[in-house]
Amino acid sequence: MMNTLQADVAVIGFGKGGKIAAAALGRAGRRVVLIERSDSMYGGTCPNVGCVPTKALVHHSGRRRPDDSPQEWFEHAIGEVQQLTSTFRAGNYDALNNADTITVLTGTASFVDDHTIAVGNDVRVVADTILINTGSEPVIPDIPGLRDSPRTVTNVDLVHGTQLPGRLAVIGGGYLGIEFASIYRRFGSQVTVLEASPRILGQEDDDIAEAAAGILAGDGVEIVTGAKVLEIRNEDTVVYEKNGREHTITVDAILAATGRTPATAELRLDNAGVRVSERGAIEVDEYLRTSRPHIFALGDVNGGPQFTYISLDDSRIVLDQLLGAGKRSTADRVAVPKTLFMSPPLATVGLTEAAARAEGRPFKVAKQNVADIIAMPRAYIVEETRGMMKFVIDADTDEILGAGLLSVDAQELINTVALAIRHRITATELRESIYTHPSSTEAFNDVLAM
């Protein structure tokens, strides 16, 4: 017998945006049903297989001493990380399921029509408003032998596995690939990054990317650019072409780090009349409404920037539509920062030098190597003096256009720079501010003294 639940709001997917919206709507007295297909994903990608476990692995990999057995230390780290994610997962579930107005269902959701969702074979949810927050999933590129090889892993597989690969090949030199290359090298794996483009981190300026590549190489990561992967042979041999010559490496694991795609395959969006783009993302307007005005899409599934904090901001936009004045939109977003958690981290915001030049605007550049920043003794205190700081500044107004910070604490520093950009604080003001000592922020006193 089919059990039918009536709801004011149904939320498909327990990601950041969905859970924040569900909690707020529940507090406002709305009857909410939150549907998550896996009991291992309460809370979404970030606390389970994304930000939390990977950044915890960054921390643990940095604590390994030369005499520690790589495999034993890795097993210990994975155990600690799994315990942490279990705590987060249980907390996320209890926080919502224990609310009087919220019901959490576990099962695969698919649309029956634009107000009705089937959950497995036993439950149907009928809702006035529906929020889709199913996130994204790893893409395994169509390289002969890659999908069939038992050595092929995704980032999700890696954070669950307890066996440290002796040799790891990473296909893709973007944020995901470089982050895992850095982590696993520090655990003790031999790591080779294969990037088809002329250099890694193609969205960043040449000098920033070159500095990052130098740090990785110094840690022992082998980076092969201009490498076109041709096939995976005999399950464990990666065959690639560079400069017209064929090369092979034999590995224990192959990480496909070539991107993620919106997770919509099981939703049966056609039954609801919800349109998707050519890339499979749910089409939304600036208020995150789909082609059905009562259905919203939040987070990675709508094709926007794939960051947890964007999903959080998506929830603010949707809640403003459902509970507020309805004015907040994606057009309000300015200077959204991002961080690559290699060691040390690379954090960026705003325009690169190349982008400013392409726009034809007058600009000046302020940059220094971290080792040369006199006002940043913290880098020496924590024994991490690698990297550089770079600012792109409007030559007429002195406003900061963008920054690339490859340094200790960059993931924190970038938020101050982003705030300065949003509020049009000048480089001079940022340079002449008073910062605590010894801190990383006081590097601004030095770097911006042009």
Say which CATH number the domain at 440 has: 3.30.390.30
Question: Is residue 408 a contact partner of residue 384, using CB atoms and an 8 Å limit?
Answer: yes
252 sits in the region (left: phi over 0; alpha: psi -120 to 50; else beta) called: alpha
- 430 with 289, same domain: the answer is no
Of 173 and 60, more confident: 173
What is d(CA 403, CA 447) in angstroms, rounded to the nearest whole number?
11
- 124 with 228, same domain: the answer is no
- 166 with 230, same domain: the answer is yes
- 246 with 377, same domain: the answer is no
Instruction: For residue 77, give the amino acid letter.
Output: A
- 129 with 158, same domain: the answer is no
Instruction: Using the structure block, give the residue that is written with the tokens 């107004």.
Output: 397
What is d(CA 145, CA 359) in angstroms, rounded to the nearest whole number?
43
Averaged over 135-152, what is the pLDDT? 94
- 9 with 47, same domain: the answer is yes
Digit-coded pLDDT (tens) for 387-442: 999 999 999 999 999 999 999 999 999 999 999 999 999 999 999 999 999 999 99
What is d(CA 438, CA 425) in angstroms, rounded to the nearest whole number?
23
Residue 144 lies inside a defined structural domain of this protein: no
Residue 8 lies inside a defined structural domain of this protein: yes
pLDDT at 287 over 70: yes
φ and ψ of 320, to 5 deg: -65, -35
Mean of pLDDT over the chain: 93
Averaged over 83-100, what is the pLDDT? 80
Which of 218, 240, 256 terminates a domain? The answer is: 256
Residue 374 lies inside a defined structural domain of this protein: yes
- 229 with 344, same domain: the answer is no
The pLDDT-based confidence of 1 (bands split at 50, 70, 90) is low
pLDDT at 171 over 60: yes
The pLDDT-based confidence of 73 (bands split at 50, 70, 90) is confident
The number of domains in the chain is 3
- 61 with 81, same domain: the answer is yes
Which of 191, 225, 256 terminates a domain? The answer is: 256
pLDDT at 280 over 80: yes
What is d(CA 334, CA 203) in angstroms, rounded to the nearest whole number?
18
pLDDT at 50 over 70: no
Digit-coded pLDDT (tens) for 310-367: 999 999 999 999 999 999 999 999 999 999 999 999 999 999 999 999 999 999 999 9
Q: Which of 68-72, 115-119, 123-127, 152-156 has the lowest mean pLDDT?
A: 68-72
- 159 with 303, same domain: the answer is no
Which residues, 6+ apart, have CB-to-CB distance to 350 below 8 Å?
335, 392, 400, 401, 402, 403, 417, 418, 421
pLDDT of residue 65: 80
Which residues, 6+ apart, have CB-to-CB distance to 403 below 8 Å?
348, 349, 350, 389, 390, 391, 392, 414, 417
Helix (H, G, I), strand (E, B) or coil at 159: helix
- How much of the chain, in percent, has pLDDT values that exceed 90? 78
Q: How far is CA 91 from CA 12, 41, 200, 299, in A?
A: 19, 12, 38, 21
pLDDT of residue 113: 97
pLDDT at 265 over 60: yes
Residue 143 lies inside a defined structural domain of this protein: no
- 166 with 33, same domain: the answer is no
Residue 167 lies inside a defined structural domain of this protein: yes
Averaged over 136-163, what is the pLDDT? 91
- Number of Cβ atoms within 10 Å of the Cβ of 390: 22
pLDDT at 48 over 70: no
pLDDT of residue 312: 94
Residue 131 lies inside a defined structural domain of this protein: yes
Which DSSP letter does residue 257 get? -
Q: Which domain holds residue 132?
A: 3-137+260-332
- 131 with 265, same domain: the answer is yes
Residue 365 lies inside a defined structural domain of this protein: yes
Which residues, 6+ apart, have CB-to-CB distance to 377 below 8 Å?
437, 438
pLDDT of residue 71: 87
Which residues, 6+ apart, have CB-to-CB distance to 373 below 8 Å?
379, 389, 443, 446, 447
Question: Among all residues, which ones are annotated catalytic?
Answer: 437
pLDDT at 97 over 80: no
Write the CATH number for 213. 3.50.50.60
Going 75 to 80 to 84 to 87, the CA torsion angle's sign is positive
The pLDDT-based confidence of 291 (bands split at 50, 70, 90) is very high
Of 158 and 49, more confident: 158
Which of 191, 224, 256 terminates a domain? The answer is: 256
Helix (H, G, I), strand (E, B) or coil at 416: helix
Which residues, 6+ apart, have CB-to-CB distance to 63 below 8 Å?
none
Instruction: For residue 268, give the amino acid letter.
Output: R
- 290 with 365, same domain: the answer is no
pLDDT at 383 over 70: yes
pLDDT at 257 over 90: yes
Residue 66 lies inside a defined structural domain of this protein: yes
